[in-house]
Amino acid sequence: MLYRRLGKSDLEVSEISLGSWLTYGLGVEADAAKACLDAAFEVGINFIDTANVYGRGAAETFLGEALRDRPRDSYVLATKVYFPMGPEDQGLSRAQIRKQLDASLQRLRTDYVDLYQCHRYDGSVPLEETMDALSEAVRSGKVRYIGFSEWPADAIRAALDLPDVERFVSSQPQYSLLWRRPEKEVIPLCAAKGISQIVWSPLGQGVLTGKYLPDQPAPPGTRATSDEMGGFIERLMQPKVLRAVQRLQPLAAEAGLSLAQFSLAWVLREPNVASAIIGASRPDQVRENAAASGARLAPGLFTQAEALIAEALQD
């Protein structure tokens, strides 16, 4: 496993990290979830991503229990705030940040998180208030660094221009061969400002592993067939996209990689990406995906892959 510096922080994060959206505390049963986490540590993953809203606290509770016996400084722990935890509890006001951070720390059974991320931008709260509250969290020692997820470029710029507040070190966008929007504005802006990307759904929720075949039912036991986890994958499951993904198989084979590894290596080719946050329902997926770190392959293969996907997404 190779490691990259997270923005201007002193955190070194594994190129492949493990997330917990839909999976842990929710769709993947506890023993399998624990086996995935153990496999992650075995292969050198040191970076774990979660959010208060995942399973409405259940993912954090699972991680708090599963990480209990590991030295706290042996892994980098990231969580998030913004989405509703109850009818009155949402957003990025000072009161919410204080309340939700304390609740996250309690569920995670820790005194601090390494990275506290704003899960989205909250236009209903003055940016000054949000940044003040985040800075207070850092200065209190409960948070080491701050980040954001899917903020508009204007809001990122405005936050960076505020005086006397802590600086963001990370951005968490969706990014994969199937979703390249961050390349337009967010990646160049962040690269210039010392902010790294830690990207979500780098495998398009499993679509970029090639296991979903066009015009065929999804294999049993996959996210697409899951009542608990399948609610967000539909958009990526169009037959023309699945056909294009199958055309990537020979390119991955030429590189000596599985398609999952090839897709992750593509994400990691971007120097502003510090880590690709994978999801996993089984430990063998963690091991396979982790092996994408350090893969070296001819850049021409990536160019061909990009062209095939662009063509499919166009019509």
Say whether residue 53 binds ligand NAP (CB under 6 A): no
Instruction: Identify whether the C-beta of residue 286 lies closer than 8 Å to the C-beta of residue 18.
Output: yes
Q: Which of 54, 116, 121, 212 is catalytic?
A: 54
Q: At what angle do helices 153-161 and 186-193 cross, to 10 degrees?
A: 20
Say whether residue 175 binds ligand NAP (CB under 6 A): no
Q: Is 175 a catalytic residue?
A: no
Q: Which of 244, 278, 305, 308 binds ligand NAP (CB under 6 A)?
A: 278
Spatial separation of the C-alpha atoms in residues 101 and 108, rounded to whole Å? 10
Residues of span 76-135 touching ligand NAP by CB under 6 A: 119
Encoded tokens for 167: 């600086």
Say whether residue 222 binds ligand NAP (CB under 6 A): yes
Stretch of residues binding ligand NAP (CB under 6 A), selected from 4-12, 123-131, 246-254, 282-290: 282-290
Q: Which of 57, 91, 202, 283 binds ligand NAP (CB under 6 A)?
A: 202
Q: Which amino acid appears at position 208 of this protein?
A: L
Stretch of residues binding ligand NAP (CB under 6 A), selected from 60-68, 246-254, 273-281, 290-298: 273-281
Backbone φ, ψ for residue 18 (5° rounding): -115, 125
Q: Name the region of 281 (left: φ>0; alpha: ψ -120 to 50; beta: rest).
A: alpha
Say whether residue 206 binds ligand NAP (CB under 6 A): yes
275-307 burial: b if 16+ Cβ within 10 Å, else e: bbbbbbbebebbebbbbbbebebeeebbebbee
Q: Given the rule CB under 6 A, which residues bind ligand NAP?
A: 19-21, 23, 49, 119, 149-150, 172, 200-206, 209, 211, 222-223, 260, 277-281, 285, 288-289
Residues labelled catalytic: 54
